[in-house]
């Protein structure tokens, strides 16, 4: 029964992102009955659904890292876009300086960019975990100066990745019907799932996020756990920057992943995760990321002016936060108990009591 209760709690957290996603899909379906139509062009699947999966690739990866940082550090990293810009700038410079661009050149450049992401994560993590600086304040440093660093690495220009391998990474590989960024995102998600299932990372992160003092008494070092989540966030930023720059075919240090941290934070909140830390749901954040991508495309499909989309998203966030607030949740739970009690003649008990009795 404890497992059944855990599954129920997990599903209740996923109810909000799934319901919002379904509502947006229904709106799109009403707008056009062919919304789910998928066509194959030159051996590659295209359509609204593949486009959503393609467009949300970077956001999904960054949302995973943001979830871990939020859960452990009880704060957010607002420098993820700038971190991705710096690490991808290093990748581009490595590729451009190679005498011949091969798959091994791309792989080596990617690994170097991940090392850069680790160093950036170590910088942020040190400030937060060892100097007790608030996460948002600590990451504000790179948020303000990160793009200038990337611009200097670029040589104050916008270098172009003019090679077929980068083009295939950003679009499609011949003979494979699914766009490459979608595949890379799926592989990354699988790796994260394997890590969470085969290590104690989830347990340590949640323990530190819920009560760092209690975690320390149980032999868990909160500083090391928080530091580790920022390292993971650095790698996520590097991977997202790698995908973004190969998609674009050039490195734009000013606009690459610009303001994506806001969508990543929203994806975490939309996924049923508390921004105050503690227990988390990677699945919820992933669904939240895809929901945000669907929202952006839905507003464009409804012919909303691109400049007005931010205002619509702001209203959406306000409504969403009110619905997800503890006050509304408690009210909904009490209302549900009253409805159940009325329907059973007053003999119904709260759901938690039912679980308790079944356990006994």
Q: Are 264 and 68 in contact (CB under 8 A)?
A: no
> Is the pLDDT confidence value at 104 over 50?
yes
Percent of the chain with pLDDT over 90: 69
Supply the mean pLDDT for the chain. Answer: 89
Q: Which two tokens stand for residue 243?
A: 């995908």
pLDDT score recorded for residue 357: 44
> Is the pLDDT confidence value at 354 over 70?
no
Among 34-48, 110-124, 230-244, name the one with the lowest average pLDDT. Answer: 34-48
Q: How confident is the model at residue 345 (pLDDT cuts 50, 70, 90)?
A: low
pLDDT score recorded for residue 12: 62
Label residue 316 left, alpha or beta by phi (over 0 means left) and psi (-120 to 50 means alpha). alpha
Once rounded to an integer, what is the mean pLDDT over residues 112-135? 96
pTM > 0.85: yes or no: yes
Which one has a higher pLDDT value, 299 or 172? Answer: 172
Once rounded to an integer, what is the mean pLDDT over residues 330-356? 66
Supply the DSSP string of 312-334, one letter for each residue: HHHHHHHHHHHHHSHHHHHHHHH
pLDDT score recorded for residue 346: 55
User: Hey, which residues does 38 pair with through a beta bridge?
Assistant: 47
What is the rounded (10 degree) CA torsion for 80, 82, 83, 88? Answer: 120
Q: How confident is the model at residue 356 (pLDDT cuts 50, 70, 90)?
A: very low
Which domains are delineated in the chain? 2-310 (1.10.3470), 325-360 (no CATH)
Could you report the per-residue pLDDT of 125-167, keeping only the tens digit for each? 999 999 999 999 999 999 999 999 999 999 999 999 989 999 9
Once rounded to an integer, what is the mean pLDDT over residues 168-194? 96
> Is the pLDDT confidence value at 4 over 70?
no
Phi, psi of 250 (to 5 degrees): -155, 160
Count the residues in the chain: 360
User: Hey, which residues does 40 pair with through a beta bridge?
Assistant: 45
> Is the pLDDT confidence value at 1 over 80?
no
Q: Are 92 and 154 in contact (CB under 8 A)?
A: yes
Among 221-230, 265-274, 301-310, name the one with the lowest average pLDDT. Answer: 301-310
Q: How confident is the model at residue 78 (pLDDT cuts 50, 70, 90)?
A: very high
CA distances to 102, 210, 223, 264, 304 from 80, rounded to whole Å, are 28, 24, 20, 9, 28
Q: Are 128 and 226 in contact (CB under 8 A)?
A: yes
Once rounded to an integer, what is the mean pLDDT over residues 5-34? 78
> Is the pLDDT confidence value at 188 over 50?
yes
pLDDT score recorded for residue 352: 45
pLDDT score recorded for residue 6: 53
Q: Are 197 and 29 in contact (CB under 8 A)?
A: no
């Amino acid at each position: 029964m404890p497992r059944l209760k855990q599954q129920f709690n997990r599903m209740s957290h996923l109810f909000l992102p799934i319901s919002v996603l379904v509502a947006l899909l229904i709106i799109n379906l009403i707008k056009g009955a062919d919304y789910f139509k998928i066509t194959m062009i030159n051996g590659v699947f295209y359509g609204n659904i593949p486009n959503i999966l393609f467009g949300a690739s970077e956001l999904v990866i960054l949302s995973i890292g943001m979830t871990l940082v939020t859960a452990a550090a009880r704060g957010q990293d607002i420098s993820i876009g700038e971190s991705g810009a710096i690490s991808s700038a290093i990748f581009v410079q490595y590729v451009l300086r190679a005498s011949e661009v091969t798959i091994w050149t791309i792989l080596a450049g990617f690994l170097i960019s991940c090392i850069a992401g680790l160093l950036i994560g170590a910088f942020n993590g040190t400030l937060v975990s060892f100097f007790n600086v608030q996460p948002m304040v600590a990451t504000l440093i790179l948020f303000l100066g990160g793009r200038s660093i990337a611009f200097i690495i670029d040589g104050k220009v916008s270098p172009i990745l003019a090679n077929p391998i980068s083009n295939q990474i950003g679009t499609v590989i011949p003979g494979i019907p699914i766009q490459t960024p979608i595949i890379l995102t799926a592989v990354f998600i699988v790796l994260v799932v394997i890590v969470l299932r085969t290590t104690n990372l989830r347990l340590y992160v949640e323990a530190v996020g819920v009560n760092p003092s209690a975690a320390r008494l149980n032999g868990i070092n909160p500083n090391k756990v928080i530091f580790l989540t920022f390292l993971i966030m650095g790698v996520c930023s590097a991977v997202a920057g790698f995908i973004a720059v190969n998609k674009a075919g050039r490195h734009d240090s000013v606009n690459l992943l610009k303001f994506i941290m806001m969508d990543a934070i929203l994806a975490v909140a939309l996924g049923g995760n508390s921004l105050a830390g503690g227990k988390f749901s990677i699945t919820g954040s992933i669904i939240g990321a895809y929901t945000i991508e669907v929202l952006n495309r839905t507003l464009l499909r409804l012919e909303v002016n691109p400049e007005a989309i931010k205002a619509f998203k702001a209203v959406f966030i306000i409504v969403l936060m009110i619905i997800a607030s503890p006050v509304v949740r408690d009210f909904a739970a009490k209302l549900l108990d009253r409805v159940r009690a009325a329907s059973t003649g007053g003999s119904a008990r709260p759901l938690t009591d039912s679980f308790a009795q079944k356990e006994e």
